[in-house]
Structure 1
Amino acid sequence: MKLPTNSILISLKIGIVSDGQYGERAFEQIRRRFPTEWILLPYPSSPVVDEIELTIPPCDLYISYLRHPDIAMELIRTGIPALLGINLGPGFIAQAHEFNPAVIGPETMCSVLPNTKFCQVNEYAKVFGRPVFYLVMDGDRIVWCKTIRGSPCGSTDAAASEISGQILDQEALSRFALSICHNCRAPRFGKTCDKEKAGIIHLEELMRALKGVNPKKWEELIQVLEKIGCSFPNE
């Protein structure tokens, strides 16, 4: 299996758009693989902003970590494809689609897949999004857990590194999920995105990788994971 390199993919320029609260870790991760610009916009104190004049550098794809809906909507009005790193809810997304159909508000940033209608999002999601792992096993022990695709916050890489060298059992899976929750930047029990969901997504994909190399161990652990909300519809 050929593993991806960390070379920059020069075909897509990404703008990480933030008001200063979130997005720094995504910027550090994404700029290793794509030409990436850090775009800092204001966070108004007023809940409603009537007149907005923003200077936004042109990019092929914006990833928005903006918390104020009026500022986020102004970004969306540029017509450039946008991923909402902070999902402002279904009502906001419905309104956004009136101005820009290429707006995606994923359940979590680690749930994005390269299967949208928009090539810019798909190119990004080949590298960052719903995790893909490559496992090397020695019996029940994970010799190496390699991230092929992971979350832009870096939690996938951290958890993969921590589980490498461990015996894969229920306790190891619990530590793996807790590592994801600890490093995840999503809000806890958020309405549209939360740490617990991110942990479950990573467990599901770790198990998908496990099935290919150790089906017996997969069969042993899958029943435990289904009890905590993991699903394996294609298994």
Structure 2
Amino acid sequence: MLKVAVVTDGPYGDRAYETIKMVFDTEYIELEKPTDMFMDELEVPEDLLKKIKESNILITYTQHPDVTLDLVDMVNKDVDYTIVAAWTGEGFKNQLERYENVTCPYIMCELEENGNPTFDEFASKIGKPKIELLLDGNKLKEVVVLRSSPCGSTAFVADYIGEKYHGKTLDSEELPVESGLKLQHYPCRAAKMRLFSDEECKKEMASGHHRDAFEEAVQFSNRRLENRELKV
């Protein structure tokens, strides 16, 4: 089974750990956050460093840039792929992504397969939301999460939609919009990980990804239903 290490030096990463551990063998590793703005050298306890190096996927939620950069430099040759979840500034992003096996996503719920076998195995289950709608005749029976956002918001939205629309025919416009709106009620932390950004609100982007996922699921279910009726 794929091994994942979620590393943090602050308040972020716990939700990702709770979500990812349901799919992959996952370790949650807390490092001490430096008190100074600049740090001489990162020191990681040997037992924790061993766990990180033994992982296939490293996900960093470390907020101190020196911790993030030093950690990536330290273990880059040992882990298959590193996902930097918390970063600030395009220059820092470019510095990290000089390694071919490091990515700094704008938000974690935009992750999709990129051709790397290890990363693709991870991103097939965790990343950009992907939903399947199971029908009983032409009525909704169950919402299945095929790929979840790391924070767990996909399950939150899926449970709501599954309960509200259970036993109802699919509305190709209402259901996707409702799913996007429901995401707004989830306490998303994405915006707090990227400081001083004037770009599109991360929460709005996450809402859009969930709306799109349900829209695609509705379209797929309707096509499948039409094909079934044609065969009959």
> Which residue of 160, 163, 167 corresponds with 2:161?
163
Residue 183 of structure 2 is matched in structure 1 by 180
> Which residue of 72, 79, 84 corresponds with 1:76?
72
Pairing 1:126-165 to 2, within 5 Å after superposition: 126-137=124-135, 142-164=140-162, 165=164
Partners of 2:176 and 2:212 within 8 A in 1 = no
Q: Deviations over 1:28-70 (max 9, x none)?
A: 1111111111111122222211222223222111011111110
Give the deviation of 1:137 after TM superposition. Answer: 4.5
Using the alignment, how far apart are the partners of 1:139 and 1:188 within structure 2?
43
Change (3 A) 1:188 1:71: closer
What SS class does the counterpart of residue 217 from structure 2 fall into? helix
Using the alignment, how far apart are the partners of 2:26 and 2:84 within structure 1?
16
Using the alignment, how far apart are the partners of 2:15 and 2:175 within structure 1?
26
Q: Root-mean-square deviation (CA), in Å?
A: 2.4
Give the deviation of 1:176 after TM superposition. Answer: 1.9
Partners of 2:176 and 2:214 within 8 A in 1 = no
Using the alignment, how far apart are the partners of 1:75 and 1:29 within structure 2?
23
Change (3 A) 1:189 1:128: closer
Residue 58 of structure 2 is matched in structure 1 by 62
Give the deviation of 1:204 after TM superposition. Answer: 1.0
Give the deviation of 1:214 after TM superposition. Answer: 2.5
Using the alignment, how far apart are the partners of 2:88 and 2:117 within structure 1?
23
Give the deviation of 1:158 after TM superposition. Answer: 1.0
Bigger shift: residues 198-207 or 136-145? 136-145
Between Structure 1 and Structure 2, which shows a larger proportion of helix residues?
2
Using the alignment, how far apart are the partners of 1:126 and 1:22 within structure 2?
23
Give the deviation of 1:182 after TM superposition. Answer: 3.0
**Count of residues in Structure 1 that have an aligned counterpart in Structure 2:** 203
Change (3 A) 1:195 1:141: farther
What SS class does the counterpart of residue 12 from structure 2 fall into? coil
Partners of 2:10 and 2:63 within 8 A in 1 = no
Residue 228 of structure 1 is matched in structure 2 by none
> Which residue of 208, 215, 220 corresponds with 1:212?
220
Give the deviation of 1:17 after TM superposition. Answer: 0.4
Partners of 1:64 and 1:85 within 8 A in 2 = yes
Using the alignment, how far apart are the partners of 1:214 and 1:87 within structure 2?
40
- Give the TM-score normalised by structure 1: 0.77
Using the alignment, how far apart are the partners of 1:137 and 1:189 within structure 2?
38
Change (3 A) 1:163 1:108: same
> Which residue of 16, 22, 28 corresponds with 1:38?
28
Residue 210 of structure 2 is matched in structure 1 by 202
Structure of greater Rg: 2
What SS class does the counterpart of residue 39 from structure 2 fall into? coil
Which AA in structure 2 matches 1:112?
L
Give the deviation of 1:108 after TM superposition. Answer: 1.6
Q: Deviations over 1:202-221 (max 9, x none)?
A: 11121111111236xxxxxx
Bigger shift: residues 166-175 or 76-85? 166-175
Looking at both structures, which has the greater relative contact order when contacts are Cα pairs under 8 Å and sequence separation is at least 6? 2
Q: Quick check: 1:105 aligned with 2:95?
A: no
Unaligned runs of 5+ in 2: 224-232
What percent identity do the matched residue pairs reach?
33
Using the alignment, how far apart are the partners of 2:16 and 2:160 within structure 1?
20
Residue 50 of structure 1 is matched in structure 2 by 40
- Give the TM-score normalised by structure 2: 0.78
Partners of 2:97 and 2:103 within 8 A in 1 = no
